[in-house]
Structure 1
């Protein structure tokens, strides 16, 4: 899935963020909607009061629960970060409002790559647009079908007037700068009025990262925008952050596979070759079948690797056979 971030008005800041593979997760007060995080809690307060009356002998314990929930609600303003994205790159209002009146640019992210390797994992969800302020009550807290429902109630609603943004929202555990896998950026769209120098600076900054570039244009006899791919002026055969890490002895051992999975044993070495080319891979330590995720007809493999020389910085990633085949076929230096 691809999502989009419009940028404009602070070119040097935005260029630096692209160069350093980072995005900024704002707090609610930094966003342009004064109603961010607005909720009603009348039902919740009534429920708490009923509990205090019914279980009056435990009212002190209930008061502690009430304070804990209040602290959790306060986190939406003081702890959690918000990274707002859109599902479209060609909305004329978004270009006007968020990309310096079409003089800026729009970043295309692969959402899966953007969220990969985050610990803890970033949450994400579509914004719901409504003319009613969301209501917070105890059922929100104890909902087992959707453990993120509380966060969605607190940070997942906006007025119907904002629905043109078609927003997907990423929620981070921290506010401020967040680092992502550089491969998350797949394309840059330049606005109708983007300066030539800005376009060239972005291309030069992102050289070697396999990013595609598009110029926004007006469709003929239409109010609509369309994108035309343009040539990368700084094409290079030197890949950004590319290296081939070592594979430890016995990291790949086909003899450990159960009989019903033996026919898939070549995928162990294929996955090792893929993982050793991960930008943050220092050393591949273990490749095996995930018994909890696999079935005899649909095996899932996992790889563990170090990101630094010590044993404390490690990553674990899972791959299906289709994913392994796809990425292995793209390797050009075996």
Structure 2
């Protein structure tokens, strides 16, 4: 299937900061090498992205199930809250004792485990793509006011982790137990759920377990490079010099009724 990625690109002389110049080089190098940057949720522009609401556990038995699902690193984190505990069994026994004695409440334990879910979510990687290359708002937001580029990719439909974003009126609500259960798949589903306000983006995502990294996507390839309607001639030359003649370069133009389309 064909999917698109909007990007801000400027010439080195206009990039300003060293970081902007490095970002420019990274974007163009990723296109040339057919690699993709998977961002952590904290770097996405929607403050609700990957942040479900959680229902509190109904009692200690449900909380015990949650602890059983934790990884060794997550158990280590909980053990730091309880000096003298090391193993999963130690943690369960200590929390049970504290709960029975009234020394710790289910809401407090819930806050600990909720934090673990948030850490797990925050470490994941997301690649955001779109079905369209002609959305005026996306050219404005993601391609520096139409002065950047939009890259068209071929992404195989059977790509691991590829799914269409579902847009909802209400923020998803999970139990902590659902969030930690790999079998339910509910936590992963949150990566593909956004507010209805973002529906115009027609987004598809690919998820990976670790974010802020470059990944290759098997059998994916770059098809075309589209220049925004405000892109400078210097930027066009810069992009073509960096990427060479391996791709088709297509300019966008204004169309009727506030539309944008490819030049013939």
Which of the five TM-score ranges fits, normalised by the shorter chain? 0.5 to 0.7
Following the alignment from structure 1 to structure 2, what is the Cα–Cα distance between the partners of residues 85 and 64?
A: 35
Task: Pick closer, same or farther for the CA change 1:29–1:178 going to 2, 3 Å.
Answer: same
Is the CA contact 1:25–1:172 (under 8 Å) kept in the aligned structure 2? Answer: yes
Residues 1:178 and 2:191 aligned together:
no
Q: Corresponding residue for 1:7?
A: 7
Which residue does the alignment assign to 1:131? 169
Question: Are 2:251 and 1:206 aligned?
Answer: no
**Among 68, 93, 96, the residue aligned to 2:140:** 96
Answer whether contact 2:252 2:262 (CA < 8 A) is retained.
Answer: yes
Structure 2: tracts of 5 or more residues without a match: 10-19, 75-112
1:1-334 matches, cutoff 5 A: 1-8=1-8, 10=20, 11-42=24-55, 45-46=57-58, 49=59, 51=61, 61-62=64-65, 64-65=67-68, 67=70, 70=113, 71=116, 74-77=119-122, 79-112=123-156, 115=159, 122-137=160-175, 138=177, 148-153=185-190, 155-180=191-216, 184-209=221-246, 211-219=247-255, 221-228=256-263
Aligned-residue offset at 1:23? 2.1
Distance 1:148 1:208 in 2: 43
Stretch of structure 1 that moved more, 83-92 or 19-28: 19-28
Structure 1 17/139 Cα, relative in aligned 2: closer, same or farther at 3 Å? closer
State the alpha-carbon separation in 2 of the partners of residues 35 and 63 from structure 1.
Answer: 24
Rounded to whole Å, the distance in 1 between the matches of 2:213 and 2:34 is 10
- The answer to whether the Cα contact below 8 Å between 2:38 and 2:213 also exists between their aligned partners in 1 is yes
Shift of the 25–41 alpha-carbon distance from structure 1 to 2, 3 Å rule, reads same
* CA distance 1:141–1:208, shift in 2 (3 Å): same
What's the C-alpha RMSD, in Å, of the aligned pairs? 2.9
SS in 2 for 1:88: coil
Give me the whole-angstrom Cα distance separating, in 1, the residues matched to 2:208 and 2:248. Answer: 27
Shift in Å at residue 19 of structure 1?
Answer: 3.0
Q: TM-score, normalised by structure 1?
A: 0.55
Give the Cα–Cα distance (whole angstroms) in 2 for the partners of residues 177 and 114 of structure 1: 22
Contact kept? 1:113, 1:183, Cα under 8 Å:
no
Distance 2:157 2:214 in 1: 13
Conserved 8 A contact 1:114-1:184:
no
What is the aligned residue count? 207
Query: Which is higher, the Rg of structure 1 or of structure 2?
Result: 1
In structure 1, stretches of 5+ residues that fail to align are: 53-58, 116-121, 230-334
Q: Is the 8 A contact 1:114 1:180 kept in 2?
A: no
Q: C-alpha separation between the residues in 2 aligned to 1:205 and 1:217?
A: 23
Q: With the length of structure 2 as denominator, give the TM-score of the two structures.
A: 0.68
The 1:141–1:29 alpha-carbon spacing in structure 2 relative to 1, beyond 3 Å, is: closer
Cα distance change, pair 140–172 in 1 and its aligned pair in 2 (3 A) = closer
